[in-house]
Structures are given as structure tokens and as C-alpha cells.
Amino acid sequence: MTIPSDYTERVYAGVLGKLIGVYLGRPFEGWTYEMLSDKFGEINYYVHEALDVPLIVTDDDLSGTFTFLRALPDYGNRRDITPAQIGQSWLNYIIEERTILWWGGMGNSTEHTAFLRLKEGVPAPRSGSIALNGQVVAEQIGAQIFIDGWAMVAPGDPELAAELARNAGSVSHDGVAIHGAQVLAAMEAQAFVESDINRLIDTGLAVIPADSLIRTMIDQIREWHAANGDNWRATRQNIAANFGYDKYGGNCHMLPNHALIIHALLHGDDDFQKSLMIVNTSGWDTDCNSGNVGCLLGIKNGLAGIESGPDFRGPVADRLYLPTADGGRAVTDAVTESIRVANVGRALAQEPALAPKNGARYHFELPGSVQGFMPDESPASRGTLTLANTAGHSLNGNRSLALHFNGVAAGREARAATHTFIPSSEIANYFEQRGYALLASPSLHPGQTVSAALQAGAGNAHTVNAALFLRRYAAQDDRLILVHGPSQMLKPGARHTFTWQLDGAGNEPIAEVGVAISSPVRTQGSIYLDYLTWSGEPNVSFSRPDAAPDRSRPSSAPRMWRRAWVDAVDSFDPRWPEAFRIVQNRGRGLLMTGTREWRNYTVQSALTLHLCTAAGIAARVQGMRRYYALLLCRDAGGNGVARLVRALDGDTVLAEAPFAWEYGETRKFQLRVTGNRIRAAIDSLEESLFDVTDDALDGGGVALVVEEGRVMSDAVIVQPWPASTGAVHNRYSDSCTS
């Protein structure tokens, strides 16, 4: 497999095409052609405002696509990754009943059915097989909607893409659902090197059996397309009459929706807007179909194809939510995910990974990218700023983010920021109510050091003041509080690199970070943001912000500090006096926070073990089944035992020792991870109970762990190791309300 010279940019166009397609089709998912025609006529642009819903949403089409692909780097980026390994990734990243999937129940939701099989110990591909789940369940649409990532890591190699799609799809699907996924994966992979739609369809057909019903259906659609000419509505009617929902069982069958994808590609005249209009106006599973069409055309025609019509990119601003058990990656952007996808493809081709601008989180190196940065719309800043990706103004790259300000004057700042956590409590509530909660951990924490490089436009009329800022959630009432960081007066053409070590409290999650521009005189001009990034481990204590909750009104208590913890336990109720009271009825539950970038640190917490089989803390947490845990357990004889466990495709005991403990006792747990060394202590924190080496997991967040019972804690403390800043910070400075 040879990597094309424009590979990364084409991946980015594919990711954007997927996002735009899903966001376009999501507000009316499940509507019929007749309903859409009556309401809108044709779907030529976003209609979310007409239906009073957000544009940027949590959605299984996006979460599944960019989450299940993580199986490749998690298992060493092997071309021969197995369905069983991908199934293990499902168990690691999915939180039951809460993330990624439609939780419609056994035999009703195909993915839920497969998840239950996996959880019961049935390995993939049997977990998704017709033999186990029946043909109707196994041939629904899910294998198709999650395939785009597997195609984008195999540019110009349709056979590899089809094999990866088969392995991934068979975790939950079988039969024609696998064939449909293989066709689209092969087409998308070949779209990196082939521009003709009919040749791409031929490539897709070549990877499935000659007697597949998918092949028969595509051949028929091609005949209708040839006969109907420009009349796409006539072809849609032919599809509805011959391959409609009424011909197949289940809630959302593969065949009718695959038919609409082929139909839109044939009738769309190679035009991004027209193709999306056809596939969305045709109805049925609109966000899924539109996402696949958008991704394929994005890959094939690049960014120019997306930009040939109306501005689909501007309202999206690269924003993307991926809620999983790895909460630090939940609030992300199209550029970040594109680089990750492209680096998997490069690894499969044995090419070195990309790290634009030395691995900066926000680097703006892809044309038109803004990475979630948007102008601030608070009263003091509204209307003062426009953003544009531009060439130049970078010392270590080729592009930057231009902040064009106008009307800045005394008392009136221009500000732009990107989100590092859930944007608002209202957004969080909305997603919970619609069934796809935005479970997330902040990606930025107190103790870490933010750095950013800026340059003032050479043509600016005046010297202006540039500063970094952030917003955090107030501990007492979830208000967003504006916090200014370091500032610098910049003459026209001047550059400056900022560094800002954050302080603050763990119960005040950081929601966004950005750049502010101010001036004592009214002025206009430009500031160019070369990059913004952060490094280091947190230095923070996570605890309850209020002394005691009102148990009669638990909903009135601040919630954002709790939402910073990804909840994978049966109960994490706000009404109790402890900051953390977690309950797991069966099996093991985790309450998690942090990011994959945390590497060398100490985590400690005093836990009261009420009634439980085992309990403790975890470090380098990468999901439900990837972490190191220090646990107090019982052996086969019922005696107390301390264990240091590596969870990775099952538990491996790295060390254990007798340790007497009783219900109701409070014990101090500590885990220290640095490099490949893991030290664990209980009660006597200056003396290691265990000191081992293991290099399976090199980074991740922290968690409280409980098995079949209840455990309580008032605080979880995380500090860098080796210690670099002393005491845990507990307050911000220079803060004001906004």
C-alpha cells in the first residue's frame, strides 16, 4: 500500500464529509420521502434550526466510526486484526446503556444484541452471526454506517479495506450487511486513486460474492439510472417499490439504505451538495446514508469538492463529539481525528507518523481548518472577530489561524476559543434526554502548562494586547467564569510565545481555552495563532464543591464537576454526603476522568469499603478494560488480599499479598506510575506494597473501581511524578464573571 502525496488532506476531506453528512441528515432521521417533501421540498442545506435542534450532536454514526477504529492502534496497527480483537475494543470503549449504540434491547437493536453476546463471552464473529441472532437482526444497517474509518486507513487498497470492513462488521452483523459494508469500504479506499463513480462501484462489487443480493440490487439501480436520466425521483420510486422497508424485516435494514447511497452517487453528477440533497430528500436512515455519501465524495473530490457549493464547513467549525469510556477524547475536532486516522494508515503502510508543529494539539495545518475555534458571542466580544485559516505566519508549519478583529476598544475585547469539555449544562441535558449522552472528561486540567505562539499582523494600525484565557465552571452554580492568563503587548509584525501553568480546583472543570485581543483605542487588524497546546500532568484534587447536598433537591446541586467523571457504574448519585459514592450491582464498575496523555503521576484516595467484593483505584485508564488497578479483594478462602492488576483483554495479576480488611473501614490507596514502573501503597503511602515494571499501557486517566457493592471517597488527588510543583493548587487567579 502506497500512501498518496495528498493522503492526509483527503482523509480530512473524508472526515469532514462524514460529519457534514451526519449533521445534515440527523434532524429528520427516519422520515419518509413524502414527509420530507411536504416539509422541505428538497434538503439542500442544514435544517436543524427549523426543527429546533442543535447542529453538532452526539450520534452513533460518528461515535462508532471513529471509536471502533481504535482497535487498530490498540493492537499494534496489524493488517491482520481479528474480529475478536475488534470485539474486545467494543467492550473497552462502550459503556453499557450509555454510549455509542442505540440501546434498543436484545433482538431489537442489532448492536445492543451483539454487545450482550460479547459481554456474555461470545467472541466475534459469532457475536454478530446469523446463526446466533437470526437473519433479520444480523442484516440491519450498522455494519455499513461504521465502515468509513476502515476504508480511510487503506488508501488505494480496496481488498484490504474490504477485509477490515468484514472483520469489523462481523462483530455485530452478517450476510448482506457485511457485503454492503465491504462494497462501500472498497469504494472509499479506491476513491483515493480513482475518480469515476462507475469504476468505483465496479471496484466495490469485485470484493463481494457474485450471487450477493447487494450485487443484484446495484445492477438493477444502474439500469434504472440509465433509463431515468436526470429524473432521480423516478429511480427513488423504483427503489421504494422493489427494495423498500416493507420488503425486509427489522427496524433499519441494510438493503434499502444501501440502495439510496448508490442511487445518490449515480444521480448526483459528482456534486457534493446535489448528492447529499438526493440521499437526504429520499428519506429513511438519512444521517447514516448521508454520512457515507459525504465521506466517499470528500475522499474522492477533496476539500475543493465540499467547497464547490454553499458553506457547509463554516457552521461545523470542525467540531465533533465522541463520547466513550475514554472520556478525554470525547470533545474533539475533525483535524485531530483526521491526523489519528491518517497515522493509522501510515502505520499500516510502514510510514512514520505525522506530528504537525511538534505534536501541537491545535496546529491548523490542514486548509480551512479552525479546530473548533469560534468567535466569542458574549456581550463584550460579540461581532468583534472573524476567523480564517491562512497560509504562513508559522515558524514550524505552513498555516495559522487568522483572528481578524474590528471594533476592539476600551472595555471591548475580541475573543476566540475552542472547547475542552462539555460546552454547557443545557447541551449536556439535551443529549442525555435524547439517549446519546455526552460523557466526557476535560482535556485540560490545573497543573498543566498551556503554550501558544502568536504574531500580530504587519499591517495593524496599533499595538494591541494579546492574552490567553479560559472559561471554567463555577463550583457552586455551574456558571461559566472567564479567567485571563498571561498577556503581551504586540507591535505590528511582532511575535510572542506564551506559557501558562494553570492552577485551579478539580471541581471547576475547564470548558474552553482561547485568545483575547484588547486595545485602549478603537482599532482593527489581525492576530495569527500559530499553535496552541499543553503539556504535563495535572496537579489537582477532585472533590465536592459544596459542603453538604440538599437531599430533598438533588437536582439543584451543581453538576458539571460530576460530569467531568465518566460514569460507568450502576449508581453515582448526587444526594449523598460523600463526594463520590459509587455502587455496582454486578461485575466491575469504574468512575473515570483524565486523558491518554497523562503518563507519569501519582493518584491517591481514601476509600471507605462498605459492602463490596473488591474496590480500589486505577491509573493509566484507557477505557473499561484497559488500566492498572490497585484493589482490595478476597481470595478463594474469603481472606483479604491486595492485588495490583493489569486489565487488558482480561485481568493479569502483576503482584498480590495478604491484606486484612473489613467492611466499613477506610483505607488510603496510592498508585504511582512513571515510565514502565508501577508502585502501589495502601495506608503506609511512603512505603510501597508493590513495585513492578510493565510496559503494556503508557498513558491514561484515573478511576475509582468497585465490584458488586458500594465504596465512598471524599477526594481523588492526582499529582505529577516526579513532583514538580509542590502542593495541589486549589484556586484560580485573575478571574471575573462573564
Half-sphere exposure for 305 (CA within 13 Å, toward CB): 27
pLDDT per position as a tens digit, 107-141: 999 999 999 999 999 999 999 999 999 999 999 99
**pLDDT band at residue 736 using 50, 70 and 90 as cut-offs:** very low
Q: Write the burial class of residue 601 (CB in 10 Å: 0-12 exposed, 13-18 middle, 19+ buried).
A: buried
**pLDDT band at residue 556 using 50, 70 and 90 as cut-offs:** low
Q: Calculate mean pLDDT across residues 706-730.
A: 80
Three-class secondary structure assignment of 582-644: EEEEEEEEEEEECCCCCCCEEEEEEEEECCCCEEEEEEEECCCCEEEEEEEEECCCCCEEEEE
- Distance, CA of 374 to CA of 388 (rounded, Å): 10
Q: Calculate mean pLDDT across residues 676-697.
A: 94
User: Is 2.60.120.260 the CATH number for 355-535?
Assistant: yes
At residue 76's C-alpha, the angle toward residues 71 and 82, to 5°, is 50
pLDDT score of 67 more than 70: yes
- Nearest by Cα to 580 from 602, 595, 561: 561
pLDDT per position as a tens digit, 231-285: 999 999 999 999 999 999 999 999 999 999 999 999 999 999 999 999 999 999 9
The per-residue pLDDT for 550 is 62
The per-residue pLDDT for 737 is 32
The per-residue pLDDT for 380 is 86
The per-residue pLDDT for 347 is 98
The per-residue pLDDT for 547 is 58
Neighbours of 552 (CB within 10 A): 7
pLDDT per position as a tens digit, 464-485: 999 999 999 999 899 999 999 9
Residues spanned by CATH 2.60.120.260 within the chain? 355-535
The per-residue pLDDT for 546 is 74
The per-residue pLDDT for 516 is 98
pLDDT per position as a tens digit, 382-400: 999 999 999 999 999 999 9
- Distance, CA of 250 to CA of 134 (rounded, Å): 11
Residues spanned by CATH 2.60.120.560 within the chain? 580-713
Edge-to-edge strand ranges of the sheet holding 449-456: 385-391, 399-408, 523-535, 449-456, 495-501
Give 1-46 as a DSSP string: -PPPTTHHHHHHHHHHHHHHHHHHHGGGTT--HHHHHHHHSS--S-
Residues spanned by CATH 1.10.4080.10 within the chain? 7-327
| 3-state secondary structure at position 459 | coil
Instruction: Tell me the torsion sign for CA atoms 429, 433, 437, 438.
Output: negative
Instruction: Tell me the torsion sign for CA atoms 29, 30, 34, 35.
Output: negative
**pLDDT band at residue 1 using 50, 70 and 90 as cut-offs:** confident
**pLDDT band at residue 545 using 50, 70 and 90 as cut-offs:** confident
Q: Max alpha carbon distance in the chain (Å)?
A: 81
- Distance, CA of 523 to CA of 471 (rounded, Å): 25
C-alpha cell of residue 246? 416493507
Strand 480-490 and strand 464-473: the pairing is: antiparallel
Are residues 60 and 26 in contact, defined by beta-carbon separation less than 8 angstroms? no
The per-residue pLDDT for 685 is 79
The per-residue pLDDT for 735 is 34
- Distance, CA of 580 to CA of 561 (rounded, Å): 11
Half-sphere exposure for 432 (CA within 13 Å, toward CB): 11
CATH number, domain 580-713, options 1.10.3720.10, 3.40.640.10, 3.30.1360.120, 2.60.120.560 = 2.60.120.560
The reported pTM is 0.95
Q: Calculate mean pLDDT across residues 301-323.
A: 98
What CATH architecture applies to the domain 7-327?
Orthogonal Bundle (1.10)
Mean pLDDT taken over the chain: 95
The per-residue pLDDT for 733 is 34
In the chain, the amino acid numbered 34 is E
pLDDT score of 602 more than 90: yes
Are residues 606 and 714 in contact, defined by beta-carbon separation less than 8 angstroms? yes
